[in-house]
Amino acid sequence: MTFHETYTMSNGVAIPKLGLGTWFIDDGKAAQAVRDAVEIGYRNIDTAQAYGNEHGVGEGVRTSGIAREELFVSTKLAAEIKNYDDAMAAIDGSLRTLGLDHIDLMLIHAPQPWNDFRGGDYAEGNREAWRALEEGLRAGKLRSIGVSNFLREDLENILASCAVAPQVNQLLVHLGNTPTELMAYCESKNILVEAYSPIAHGEMLKNADVAAVAEKYGVSVPQLCIRYTLQLGTVSLPKTANPEHMRSNAQLDFVVSDEDMDLLRNMVQRDYGEHSVFPVYSGR
């Protein structure tokens, strides 16, 4: 697959189909991971305030040897920020920490704070945070804006009052967890879905059924998992700091048949082992 294949979001901005996720990459190692990824060919880099590595990611972008306009950098507003003033300050904070003059895509990380994920009513707070993202867009600080982990009702809350509709919803999408109805709703509203943890935080490597399908195509399990999410029409964001894995993850010159796509789409595996302590893997 070419690293330059893109989707066009509802605002006309192009986003590379394959990106590098950076969750769990330490700040001190993030710059080298980004430089390695860019050297291999990646042009889409995803981080978040909550990851604690925006400084390293920004350094990697600035020292990559590639013109800034050739790279697509995303970050996320901390899930705990549910008011306009703090959101505005956090946008500027991310720009300072990254050391960049603009961010290509900024998302609200979750519709609730992590300690109340899928809990209370934060509808007004999300509207306030969204208003700040819209202001950042108008000011040229952000090129695109979106959300992450938003369910249909969370999206409807934003859509009912926004001046600019979300361009992206970044979701947990992988073999064994394909939120078909939510993805269809996003598509109906022209909201592009990004798939984070496309290899289920590594859990798919233990699945014998998935391994059998991968063997049929002569590819690795991660390659099958990433190709699956791309054929769903999502941006795929596999996370790794290992250059060999980065290279392998991008070797996607095969097509999963419609029959196998149906098989994979209907698989259910939502056991994330020790990682189930994280809200996004908790089943809520």
Helix (H, G, I), strand (E, B) or coil at 154: helix
The percent of residues above 70 in pLDDT, for the chain, comes to 97
Q: Which of 1, 18, 36 is nearest to 241 (CA)?
A: 36
pLDDT in tens, 143-153: 999 999 999 99
User: 51, 196, 228, 281: which one is catalytic?
Assistant: 51
Judge whether 14 and 75 are in contact, CB under 8 Å.
no
**6-8 and 14-16 beta bridge pairing:** antiparallel
CB 241 within 8 A of CB 20: no
pLDDT tens digit string along 211-220? 999 999 999 9
Query: What would the pLDDT profile of 9-58 be if each residue is shown by its tens digit?
Result: 999 999 999 999 999 999 999 999 999 999 999 999 999 999 999 999 99
Per-residue pLDDT, 1: 58
Task: Say yes or no to pLDDT of 254 above 80.
Answer: yes
pLDDT for the residue 39: 97
pTM of the model: 0.96
Mean pLDDT of 252-281: 85
Q: Mark whether 51 is an active-site residue.
A: yes
The per-residue pLDDT for range 170-209, each reduced to its tens digit, is 999 999 899 999 999 999 999 999 999 999 877 888 888 9
Angle at 18 between CA 17 and CA 21, to 5 degrees: 130
Cα separation of the two ends of the chain: 34
Average of pLDDT values for 148-165?
Answer: 98
Contact between 222 and 3 (Cβ < 8 Å): no
The Cα 80–Cα 112 span in angstroms is 7
What tens digit of pLDDT does each residue of 66-77 get? 999 999 999 999
Q: Kindly report, residue by residue over 262-275, the tens digit of the pLDDT.
A: 999 998 877 766 66
